[in-house]
Chain A
């Protein structure tokens, strides 16, 4: 919040931080109660998509509804996988490079995108995403085309003298912790950006680009920055996915995955920071629980989407907010009806 910090808002902020830490501690304890690879796998996949969905929301902040986010995950994934596999570089190095390449790709292709707004932006981003996936097919010499890419090196063992070696191949526990920490750090960074003046400019542009530029906000520059930042973290998520999964197919980054990311954000609540976290958790874990009914998953998604659009525009996170407002009675204050 940018409003001057009253003791009340400070307490609220402390509460939020405490709640976040409690969730992290609980998640840290999870592998002690179960080492079932299946459960851990579900959580790891959730973490990866939380990073991606949260970074998509960062782009949404600036009023740009991107339908290419899955594809930018793919750019990071393939870039990191190819560098690690063909050049034998360590995945610890190729993952950040994957993020940077996704960002560079986003910044160059995003430049013409900043010339269009609203639905036109979304349309162009949709075709950009499709083009990226098509490119992955054309470059089958290095990407494996439709057959996909296999034998991607996993995260390499961390061996520090004096400490027990951390082997990412032996069990899923180290991967679980790695992605948990990564998710936490990424969310922290995105939170800070959103609550800085940079985030404020993005929100200002989303509300009225004309008013924003009349007070000196460089509309196209800031939109490009938001897009590049979002693509960077999508690339990181994709790269992590590549080395965790060790197999890539381009269909994981096509139209539907991009739409799914949007659904995660909208169902969770695009208006609040934890929206994409909640949305992803619900929509990744629920289908896993009802795995035997997998054929019905698209219908369930559609049903949830309809429900959200009609009954809870603010998403699941917004529902909590409304409840807490109702319970504590801290709504927006009535204002005098006339100026002066």
Chain B
């Protein structure tokens, strides 16, 4: 198992945003995390990546516990993520955004960088090569030199994915990867996600837009912080609880 949460809970004051949640992601698997607004989906991503501390429960990544580690440590272990809103570094160009995200792999030390040794320059060239490759993968080459702040929304979403890929993740967490996109942009973003998946990177994604569902091997539905269904799209669609959560149908 690549990622596993056990009885994961998060309380904000008296409110349980996430309660006793068990989620798992296998190597190379694409899992969709869905649920109505306020179900606690983004909170789950923030808990996994260390931006929030769990109130209870534990999180394991490759069988090692990461429950109370800091965000940068978790990123270094191989979990990349995108954000719903704060996507990128606004004052860096697209290319710099990706290059900056490579610095997670600190191959050059402080002194080496200061003296600008030839080995340091070679490593820098290597990083720029790989950054260019990621840029091609997500189709950002046409806007390479544009500043992050000037990017249209669709490109921003793609850039945040490119940035997360620079971490060389084994697991990629995507927070609404196609939110607010036009139909053409959605089609393109889905081909990008498909390409990422063929590289063997596991994906856990949060999304409202059901168009993404064909990409998912498995779907986990949560509501009010509780897991109400877990299985293939077809199975989940039949689930009474899910229907109730989405359409508010009262069977009583």
Contact residue among A3, A213, A332 (Cβ-Cβ distance under 8 Å from B95) = A3
Complex CA–CA separation, A243 to B64 (angstroms): 56
* B window 72-98: CB within 8 A of A: 72, 75-76, 80-81, 83, 86-93, 95-96
State the main secondary structure of chain B at its contact with A.
helix
Question: Which residues from B are CB-within-8-Å of A216?
Answer: 72, 75-76, 103-105, 167
Question: Which residues from B are CB-within-8-Å of A189?
Answer: 114
Contact residue among A204, A332, A338 (Cβ-Cβ distance under 8 Å from B146) = A332
Contact residue among B90, B99, B163 (Cβ-Cβ distance under 8 Å from A2) = B99
Q: How many inter-chain residue pairs (CB < 8 Å) link A and B?
A: 141
A22-30, A33-41, A160-168, A191-199 - interface stretch: A191-199
Q: A213–B72 contact, CB under 8 A?
A: yes
Q: B164–A196 contact, CB under 8 A?
A: no
Contact residue among B87, B106, B155 (Cβ-Cβ distance under 8 Å from A339) = B155
Closest to B158 in A: A339
Q: Is B55 an interface residue (CB 8 A)?
A: no
Contact residue among B72, B92, B139, B146 (Cβ-Cβ distance under 8 Å from A203) = B92
Q: B150–A335 contact, CB under 8 A?
A: yes
With A197-B124, A339-B188 given, is the CB distance from A215 to B75 under 8 Å?
yes
Closest to B181 in A: A339
* A window 190-237: CB within 8 A of B: 192-193, 196-198, 200-201, 203-204, 207-208, 210-219, 225
B51 to chain A, nearest CB (A): 7
Q: B114–A192 contact, CB under 8 A?
A: yes
Question: Which residues from B are CB-within-8-Å of A213?
Answer: 51, 70-72, 75
Q: A197–B113 contact, CB under 8 A?
A: yes
* B window 35-56: CB within 8 A of A: 49, 51
Q: B76–A210 contact, CB under 8 A?
A: no
Count of B interface residues, CB-CB < 8 Å: 61
Q: Is A337 an interface residue (CB 8 A)?
A: yes
Q: A2–B89 contact, CB under 8 A?
A: no
B215 to chain A, nearest CB (A): 17
A192 to chain B, nearest CB (A): 5
Question: Which residues from B are CB-within-8-Å of A217?
Answer: 72, 103-104
Q: B72–A338 contact, CB under 8 A?
A: no
Q: Is A333 an interface residue (CB 8 A)?
A: yes
Count of A interface residues, CB-CB < 8 Å: 34
Question: Which residues from A are CB-within-8-Å of B49?
Answer: 214
Complex CA–CA separation, A197 to B101 (angstroms): 10
Q: Is B176 an interface residue (CB 8 A)?
A: no
Question: Which residues from A are CB-within-8-Å of B143?
Answer: 335-336
Question: Which residues from B are CB-within-8-Å of A196?
Answer: 108, 113-114, 116, 120
Complex CA–CA separation, A4 to B154 (angstroms): 25
Complex CA–CA separation, A140 to B141 (angstroms): 63
Question: Which residues from A are CB-within-8-Å of B185?
Answer: 338-340
* B window 103-132: CB within 8 A of A: 103-106, 108, 110, 113-116, 120, 124, 128, 132
Q: Give the most central of A333, A337, A340: most B CB within 10 Å.
A: A340
Q: Is B199 an interface residue (CB 8 A)?
A: no
Question: Which residues from B are CB-within-8-Å of A201?
Answer: 100, 103
Q: Is B196 an interface residue (CB 8 A)?
A: no
Contact residue among A3, A214, A335 (Cβ-Cβ distance under 8 Å from B83) = A214
Question: Which residues from A are CB-within-8-Å of B76?
Answer: 216
Q: A337–B72 contact, CB under 8 A?
A: no
Complex CA–CA separation, A236 to B22 (angstroms): 56
Contact residue among A207, A212, A214, A335 (Cβ-Cβ distance under 8 Å from B91) = A207
Q: A338–B114 contact, CB under 8 A?
A: no
Q: B103–A197 contact, CB under 8 A?
A: yes
Q: B91–A215 contact, CB under 8 A?
A: no
Question: Which residues from A are CB-within-8-Å of B106?
Answer: 197
Q: A192–B116 contact, CB under 8 A?
A: yes
Complex CA–CA separation, A334 to B103 (angstroms): 29
With A198-B113, A211-B86, A216-B75 given, is the CB distance from A339 to B101 under 8 Å?
no
Complex CA–CA separation, A196 to B104 (angstroms): 14
B127 to chain A, nearest CB (A): 8
Question: Which residues from A are CB-within-8-Å of B150?
Answer: 332, 335
Q: B104–A215 contact, CB under 8 A?
A: yes
Closest to B50 in A: A213
Listed by A's residue number, 7 A-B pairs whose Cβ atoms lie within 8 Å are A4-B132, A196-B113, A200-B103, A201-B100, A217-B104, A339-B188, A340-B184
A193-B113, A215-B166, A335-B150 known; 6 new pairs, CB 8 Å cut-off, are A192-B115, A211-B89, A219-B72, A336-B143, A339-B189, A340-B189
